[in-house]
Structure 1
Amino acid sequence: MEQNYSVEDLLHLMAQLRNPDGGCPWDLKQDFASIVPSTIEEAYEVAEAIEQEDFEHLHEELGDLLFQVIFYAQLGREKGYFDFSRIVDTLVRKLVRRHPHVFPSGTLYGSRSAGALDEAEVKRNWEAIKQAERTAKGDSGTLAGVATGLPALTRAAKLQKRAARVGFDWPDIAGTLDKIEEEVAELREALARGDTEHAKEELGDLLFSCVNTSRHLKVDPEAALRGSSRKFEQRFGFVEARLQGEGRQVSEATLEELNRLWDMAKGQRPPGAES
Structure 2
Amino acid sequence: MKQRYTVEDLEYLMSRLRDPESGCPWDLKQSFASIVPSTIEEAYEVAEAIEREDFEHLNEELGDLLFQVIFYARLGSENGYFDFARIVDTLVRKLVRRHPHVFPSGDLHGDNQTADIDEQQIKENWEAIKAAEREAKGEDGTLGGVAVGLPGLTRALKLQKRAAGVGFDWPDIGGVLDKISEEVEELRAAIQAGDTEHAKEELGDLLFACVNAARHLKADPESALRQCNRKFERRFTFVETRLKACDRLPTDASLQELDQLWEAAKVEEKS
Q: Trace 1:77-226 onto structure 2 (pairs within 5 A).
A: 77-226=77-226
Give the structure 2 partner of residue 268 of structure 1: 268
Distance 1:232 1:114 in 2: 47
Show structure 1 runs of 4+ deviating over 4 A: none
Give the structure 2 partner of residue 28 of structure 1: 28
How far the C-alpha of 1:2 sits from its partner, in A, is 5.1
How far the C-alpha of 1:116 sits from its partner, in A, is 2.5
Give the structure 2 partner of residue 228 of structure 1: 228
Q: Secondary structure at the match of 2:269?
A: coil
How far the C-alpha of 1:98 sits from its partner, in A, is 0.5
| Contact 2:101–2:114 (8 Å) recurs in 1 | no
| Contact 2:187–2:203 (8 Å) recurs in 1 | yes
Distance 1:266 1:257 in 2: 14
How far the C-alpha of 1:268 sits from its partner, in A, is 1.9
Amino acid at match of 2:135: T
| Contact 2:176–2:209 (8 Å) recurs in 1 | yes
How far the C-alpha of 1:88 sits from its partner, in A, is 0.3
Distance 2:136 2:149 in 1: 22
Tell me the percent identity.
72
How far the C-alpha of 1:114 sits from its partner, in A, is 4.4
| Contact 2:103–2:114 (8 Å) recurs in 1 | no
C-alpha distance after superposition, 1:124-159 (max 9, x if no partner): 111111000000011120000100111100100110
How far the C-alpha of 1:241 sits from its partner, in A, is 0.5
Distance 1:130 1:40 in 2: 24
Aligned residues: 271
Give the structure 2 partner of residue 15 of structure 1: 15
Q: Name stretches of at least 5 consecutive residues in structure 2 with no aligned partner.
A: none
How far the C-alpha of 1:115 sits from its partner, in A, is 3.2
Distance 1:165 1:119 in 2: 15
TM (norm. structure 2) is: 0.98
Amino acid at match of 1:48: E
Amino acid at match of 2:229: S
TM (norm. structure 1) is: 0.97
Q: Name stretches of at least 5 consecutive residues in structure 1 with no aligned partner.
A: none
Distance 1:197 1:121 in 2: 44
2:254 is the counterpart of 1:254: yes
Give the structure 1 partner of residue 39 of structure 2: 39
Distance 2:92 2:152 in 1: 29
Q: Secondary structure at the match of 1:5?
A: coil
How far the C-alpha of 1:111 sits from its partner, in A, is 1.1
The Cα RMSD (Å) is: 1.2
Give the structure 1 partner of residue 6 of structure 2: 6
Distance 1:165 1:56 in 2: 37
C-alpha distance after superposition, 1:79-114 (max 9, x if no partner): 000000000000000000111110111010001224
